[in-house]
């Protein structure tokens, strides 16, 4: 490489700003071995503590994007390619109904997605609970699926942003994960590899999310939009609350079931509305619609007409999955026990702790503590109450889908659901306006 690694590290250590060429050399050196892992981690810590400018963030994203394959889709049929990314929440299954709705509205949704780790679920794990669904399509098959039904959701192939994969593994063990510029580069280097015309970002904020407060979520959203746009992909971000779980299920098969319910028009109201809002942002970005109200109408029509459900069934089928699940969700894996949890007292639901419930679902086997763990698709939680609900003693508040009956789990559920005498109002899911 043209720069000495130690010199580049020292520059960031001293709070200097890298020229794009230096960032490029850094990633290139990391890939060809002239910059070692132990040099990358020193640089990452310097970045964590001294930050990256907008220009540096853009250069880093670009360098990481070009560390691997960037798709070059042929059969676009004039359709705009628009994707959505969520920064990860509890019970967040929105990608599934959203991709189907957007496809039904004429968009192409080439979604390259991740697996769950820690307390947040992964879209791939959810889809794999559908018998036969293959998340490991080749890029050719992926593009064919997008061209045919408008949407495909697959896992990250090894040739997409390989530098990000290695850097993320190092960040994970060196305390450098929670760093905005590095998060931005990591998310966008993978997403932009799909050759998008637009990207909608759902940035979660709250106890159940990575960003705990609005200021940091807002800063992340702005950086994501700015860098994506600078690299030629217009983007828009929405901040959404992640204090309670999103929707009424946590767990892979359960969330697929809820996704199908949303597509049937039987989903929880606020989750359905958030899905439609994000779909309308996709339509606006694609310039398929030019007003928010028109976009909402178009998205809602895709749902009520059944067109979106049909697209979902098509996508499942093209991925080798059993498309009959859309009619019979009972085909999804189930646990032997479904333990009901009843309210021990009456009152108003004060809070529903997304993080606590996510950790319980993880405990049940719905997620991974370590990357090499296997997930149990059938286990999880159904939560029947939301903040503000008035409940009576004995009401069914939750159901635990589990392999083993354990009274400890019921107690954990009740502890996560705060009930009090005070009447409370549930704040809306969407926080603030769209960030462009």
Catalytic positions, please? 85, 164, 171, 186, 190
Residue 7 within binding range of its own copies, rule CB under 8 A: yes
Minimum CB separation from its own copies for residue 39, in Å?
5
- The beta strand positions in 108-168, using DSSP E, are 109-113, 151-155
Tokens 């559920």, residue located: 413
Residue ranges in 11-30 that form contacts with its own copies under rule CB under 8 A:
13
* Site mask for its own copies (CB under 8 A), range 196-225, x = bound: ------------------------------
Q: Residue 346 and residue 350: Cα distance in Å, rounded?
A: 12
Among 72, 173, 371, 374, binds its own copies (CB under 8 A): 173
Per CB under 8 A, the list member of 19, 20, 34, 37 interacting with its own copies is 37
CB-wise, 6 or 396, nearer to its own copies?
Answer: 6
Q: Among 34-42, 107-115, 128-136, 282-290, which window interacts with its own copies (CB under 8 A)?
A: 34-42
Q: Contact, 173 vs 320, CB < 8 A?
A: no
Q: Strand 109-113 relative to strand 396-402: parallel, antiparallel, unpaired? A: unpaired
Q: Which of 21, 53, 136, 175 binds its own copies (CB under 8 A)?
A: 175
CA atoms within 13 A on the CB side of 253: 21
For the bound state, the minimum distance from the C-beta of residue 114 to its own copies, rounded and expressed in Å, comes to 20
Helical H segments across 66-153, by residue range: 95-104, 123-127, 139-149
Q: Could you say whether residue 371 binds its own copies (CB under 8 A)?
A: no
Please identify, using beta-carbon distances, which residue of 170 and 434 lies nearer to its own copies.
170
| Interface segment toward its own copies; rule CB under 8 A; list 35-43, 217-225, 271-279, 359-367 | 35-43
Show the site string, 48-87: x = touches its own copies by CB under 8 A, - = not: xxx-------------------------------------
* Dist. CA 340–CA 384, nearest whole Å: 11
Candidates 70, 117, 141, 170: give the one binding its own copies (CB under 8 A): 170
Backbone angles phi, psi at 154, to 5 degrees: -130, 175
230 φ/ψ sector (left φ>0, alpha ψ -120 to 50, else beta): alpha
How many chain residues interact with its own copies (CB under 8 A)? Answer: 26
Question: What are the distances in angstroms from CA 429 to CA 172, 269, 295, 378, 390?
Answer: 30, 11, 19, 27, 19
Q: Kindly tell me the number of DSSP H helices and DSSP E strands found in the chain.
A: 16, 13
Residues that bind its own copies (CB under 8 A): 5-7, 9-10, 13, 36-46, 48-50, 170, 172-176
């Amino acid at each position: 490489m043209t720069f000495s690694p130690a010199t580049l590290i020292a520059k960031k250590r001293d709070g200097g700003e890298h020229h794009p060429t230096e960032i490029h050399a850094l990633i290139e050196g990391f890939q060809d071995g002239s910059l070692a892992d132990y040099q990358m981690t020193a640089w990452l810590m310097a970045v964590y503590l001294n930050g990256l400018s907008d220009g540096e963030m853009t250069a880093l994203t670009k360098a990481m994007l070009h560390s691997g394959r960037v798709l070059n889709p042929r059969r676009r049929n004039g359709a705009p390619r628009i994707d959505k990314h969520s920064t990860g929440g509890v019970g967040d299954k929105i990608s599934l109904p959203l991709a189907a709705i957007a496809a039904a509205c004429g968009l192409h949704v080439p979604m390259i997605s991740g697996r769950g780790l820690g307390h947040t679920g992964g879209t791939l794990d959810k889809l794999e609970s559908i018998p036969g669904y293959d998340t490991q399509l080749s890029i050719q098959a992926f593009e064919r699926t997008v061209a045919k039904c408008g949407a495909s959701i697959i896992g990250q192939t090894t040739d997409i942003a390989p530098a990000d994969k290695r850097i993320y593994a190092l960040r994970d063990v060196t305390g450098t994960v929670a760093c905005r510029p590095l998060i931005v580069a990591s998310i966008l280097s993978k997403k932009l590899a799909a050759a998008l015309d637009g990207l909608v970002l759902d940035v979660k904020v709250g106890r159940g999310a990575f960003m705990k407060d609005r200021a940091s979520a807002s800063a992340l959203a702005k950086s994501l939009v700015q860098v994506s746009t600078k690299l030629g992909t217009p983007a828009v971000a929405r901040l959404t609350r992640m204090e309670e779980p999103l929707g009424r299920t946590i767990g892979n098969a359960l969330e697929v079931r809820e996704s199908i319910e949303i597509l049937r028009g039987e989903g929880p109201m606020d989750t359905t509305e958030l899905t439609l809002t994000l779909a309308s942002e996709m339509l606006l970005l694609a310039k398929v619609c030019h007003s928010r109200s028109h976009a909402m109408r178009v998205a809602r029509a895709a749902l009520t007409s059944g067109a979106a459900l049909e697209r979902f069934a098509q996508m499942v089928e093209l991925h080798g999955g059993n498309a009959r699940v859309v009619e019979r969700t009972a085909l999804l894996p189930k646990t032997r026990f479904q333990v009901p949890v009843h309210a021990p007292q009456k009152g108003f639901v004060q809070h529903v702790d997304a993080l606590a419930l996510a950790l319980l679902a993880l405990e049940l086997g719905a997620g991974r503590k370590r990357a090499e763990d296997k997930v149990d698709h059938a286990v999880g939680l159904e939560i029947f109450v939301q903040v503000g609900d008035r409940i009576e003693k004995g009401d069914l508040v939750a159901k635990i889908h589990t392999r083993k009956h354990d009274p400890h789990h019921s107690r954990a559920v009740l502890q996560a659901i705060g009930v009090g005498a005070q009447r409370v109002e549930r704040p809306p899911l969407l926080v603030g306006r769209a960030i462009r």
